[in-house]
Amino acid sequence: MDYWCYALINNRLGEIYHTRNNGKVVIEGHSYLSPDEHLTQREASALQHDITHNQFTYYAHKYRHFN
């Protein structure tokens, strides 16, 4: 796993782990974050930026970008 970002996955806050192979993004997996987890100010600003661009649905071991 080379990269990670915050995302909304099935309307829950989480982190997406992905790699880039030949210019194509391949999602390796995800993990959900608990709502009571404390974030630093820098993480909170990254969270606000990332979740507007990264919204996914996960069903049957497949990710789909939600617009």
Residue 50, helix vs strand vs coil:
helix
Give the whole-angstrom CA distance, residue 64 versus residue 58: 6
Sequence-distant (≥ 6) Cβ neighbours of residue 26 within 8 angstroms:
18, 19, 20
Tokens of 21: 């192979």
pTM above 0.85, yes or no: no
**Token digits of residue 49:** 């930026």
pLDDT digits (tens, 9 = 90+) for 14-32: 999 999 999 898 999 999 9
Band (pLDDT 50/70/90 cuts) for residue 38 is confident
Q: Are 32 and 13 in contact (CB under 8 A)?
A: yes
